[in-house]
Amino acid sequence: MKVFVVGAHGKIGKQLIRILSESSKHKVRAMVREAEQAHNFQSLGIETAIVNLEESVEKIAAGAIGCDAIVFTAGSGGHTGADKTLLVDLDGAVKTIEAAALAKIKRFIMVSALQAHRRENWKDGIKPYYVAKYYADKMLEQSNLTYTIIRPGGLLDSEGTGYISVAENISGGMISRKDVAKTIMSSLDEGNTFYKAFDLVSGDLPITEALKLL
Amino acid sequence: MKVFVVGAHGKIGKQLIRILSESSKHKVRAMVREAEQAHNFQSLGIETAIVNLEESVEKIAAGAIGCDAIVFTAGSGGHTGADKTLLVDLDGAVKTIEAAALAKIKRFIMVSALQAHRRENWKDGIKPYYVAKYYADKMLEQSNLTYTIIRPGGLLDSEGTGYISVAENISGGMISRKDVAKTIMSSLDEGNTFYKAFDLVSGDLPITEALKLL
């Protein structure tokens, strides 16, 4: 499967690009905003597309065309304002969903946030971020795409264990970005994750086993 | 019809409260955030409910219960940040939609913004605001409520003419807040506005006639 990774230069994105490019089953195209980021990936032999999520649906579709799946793991990040949360995390995500349809790409994996689907569990300091994720996830569920929504808990830069816990509702927990990336990759062609949304934290089952029990 | 006005203390809200309270056909309850605002309305004999749109759906529903229609004309305003745009203009609006269902109120009028339904026509400086309005409107259209989405052009404090132009797409124009309020009131029980969304600017047809031609 050839995977279009939106947010390739982000922390989860970089991990995902690495393991996809090392995998024998998959190919990858990294979507990045800047020529320099593209150059970095190209020097590693990784295909790129330069697109900004504030551009049109058509531009995003043109970047994705020819791929078989899209992973949305972009985030405006904590250093920008909530205006970018609206433009990137919400509208950028939904434009990517629309771009998938336009480019006839059926498979779509969204990286969301733990408990983003339950308003009463949104953490106080970052509520506006949850609002954006909530509606982006909702729009994906209402699309005609073969979606999976992965909602990881607190993100760590540690090595990861390869062992996870997944469920519709998990009250809290942490997970390494490497394990999130591995969970995304394992979900790509795991039919049991199709049309599902789930919380994800570090746990005690190997990733592929955990996904089969969803 | 008893109308629950969300954003009663706003500029359109105040106009709407005034004409509804003067009307023989309607009654009104003003939803405000602060006790002082409630006191101001009460001193004019107007019923109030003190609710903050950042509170729960249940709280909003409790404020609305017993009314026959809800008008959402709240806005976080230009003086607050985009975090409030997410929490109030988007999630506050959708919580009000959910509250309507909970309080068994079928009729819902949303005050949106000219061309909010067409991404390519969003004005550059206030794009994040359009994002919020766009998704709030979308969620209303997907609800089971008898909705009307009114998208006024540039808002004026002038007297108004009582003459409007309405259509699915109007490229631009202005309208007085008084005429917006009158258009809301006329839409309340005008079946021809049910399940419709339209742009609204000052024009050359009397309000009730214009609404019949939608």
Contact flag A81-B85 (C-beta cutoff 8 Å): no
Could you tell me which residues of chain A have a Cβ less than 8 Å from any Cβ in chain B? 56-57, 81-83, 85-87, 90-91, 94-95, 119-120, 127-128, 131-132, 134-135, 138-139, 142
Residue with tokens 């997410």: B86
Judged by DSSP in three states, A156 sits in: strand
Contact A82 B120 (CB under 8 A): no
Instruction: Note whether A90 and A22 are within 8 A (CB).
Output: no
Quote the tokens at residue A17. 């690009």
Task: State how far residue A86 is from chain B, nearest Cα, in angstroms.
Answer: 6
Amino acid at the residue A113: A
Is the CB of A87 less than 8 angstroms away from the CB of B128? yes
pLDDT (0 to 100) of residue A77: 79
Contacts 24+ apart (CB under 8 A), B41-47: B41/B8, B41/B17, B45/B21, B46/B17, B46/B21
Which segments of chain A does DSSP mark as H helices, in order?
11-22, 35-42, 57-64, 82-84, 91-102, 127-141, 177-187, 207-212
Q: What is the mean pLDDT of residues B100-104?
A: 98
> Are A84 and A18 contacting, i.e. CB atoms less than 8 angstroms apart?
no
- Count CA atoms closer than 13 A to A157's CA, side-chain side: 3
Residue carrying the six token digits 């021809």: B192
Using CB atoms within 10 A of its CB, is residue B159 exposed (0-12), middle (13-18) or buried (19+)?
Answer: exposed
Task: Please enumerate, as own/partner, the contacts of A20-28 that have beta carbons within 8 Å and a separation of 24 or more.
Answer: A20/A185, A21/A45, A21/A46, A23/A185, A25/A1, A25/A189, A26/A1, A26/A2, A26/A185, A26/A188, A27/A1, A27/A2, A27/A3, A28/A2, A28/A3
Is A134 in Cβ contact with B91 (below 8 Å)?
Answer: yes
Kindly determine whether residue A135 and residue B134, on different chains, have CB atoms separated by under 8 Å. no
**Mutation site for B-interface testing, chosen from A58, A76, A119, A135 by largest number of B Cβ within 10 Å:** A135
Under the banding of pLDDT at 50, 70 and 90, the label for residue B49 is very high
Nearest C-alpha in A relative to B135: A135
Q: Find, among B115, B138, B141, the residue nearest to B126 by Cα.
A: B115
Q: Phi-psi region for residue B26, left (φ > 0), alpha (ψ -120 to 50) or beta?
A: beta
How close A199 gets to chain B, by Cα (Å)? 22
- Closest chain B residue to A88, measured at CA: B128
Q: What's the predicted TM-score (pTM) here? A: 0.94
pLDDT value of position A114: 97
CA A182 to the chain's CA centroid = 12
Residues of chain A contacting B135 with CB distance shorter than 8 Å? 90, 94, 135, 139
Which pLDDT tens digit goes with each residue over B162-202?
999 999 999 999 999 999 999 999 999 999 999 999 999 99
SS3 B134: helix
Top residue of A58, A83, A130 to mutate, by most chain B CBs within 10 Å, is A83
Is A147 known to be catalytic? no
pLDDT tens for each residue of B1-19 = 999 999 999 999 999 999 9
The conformational region for residue B41 under phi > 0 = left, psi -120 to 50 = alpha, else beta, is: alpha
pLDDT band at B55 (very low <50, low <70, confident <90, very high): very high
Tokens matching residue A95: 């434009």
Q: Which of B129, B130, B134, B147 is catalytic?
A: B129
Share of chain B above pLDDT 90, in %: 95
Other beta carbons within 10 angstroms of residue B25's beta carbon come to 9
Contact A127 B85 (CB under 8 A): no
Please give the residue of chain B at the shortest CA–CA distance from A136: B135
Q: What share of chain A is helix, strand, coil (3-state, %, to 5)?
A: 40, 25, 35
- What single string gives the DSSP state of each residue in B76-108? --TTS-HHHIIIIIIHHHHHHHHHHHHTT--EE
Q: Of A27 and B81, which is predicted with more confidence?
A: A27
Mean pLDDT of B97-105: 98
The label of the residue with tokens 């394990």 reads A179
Separation of alpha carbons B89 and B87, rounded Å:
6
Nearest CA in chain B to A138: B139
pLDDT of res. A93: 98
In angstroms, the CA B21 to CA B65 distance is 18
| pLDDT tens by residue, B31-45 | 999 999 999 999 999
Set of chain A residues whose Cβ sits within 8 Å of the Cβ of B90: 86, 131, 135
B53 within 8 A of B92, measured Cβ to Cβ: yes
**Would you call B86 and A91 a contact, using CB atoms and an 8 Å cutoff?**
no
Task: Return d(Cα B126, Cα B121) in angstroms, integer.
Answer: 11
pLDDT in tens, chain A (214 residues): 999 999 999 999 999 999 999 999 999 999 999 999 999 999 999 999 999 999 999 999 999 999 999 999 999 877 888 999 999 999 999 999 999 999 999 999 999 999 999 999 999 889 999 999 999 999 999 999 999 999 999 999 999 999 999 999 999 999 999 999 999 999 999 999 999 999 999 999 999 999 999 9
What average pLDDT does range B44-58 have in this prediction? 97
Q: Is the pLDDT of residue B76 over 90?
A: no
What's the mean pLDDT when you consider all of chain B?
Answer: 96
Q: What is the pLDDT of residues A62-103, one digit of tens each?
A: 999 999 999 999 998 778 889 999 999 999 999 999 999 999
H helices present in B35-171, as ranges: 35-42, 57-64, 82-84, 91-102, 127-141
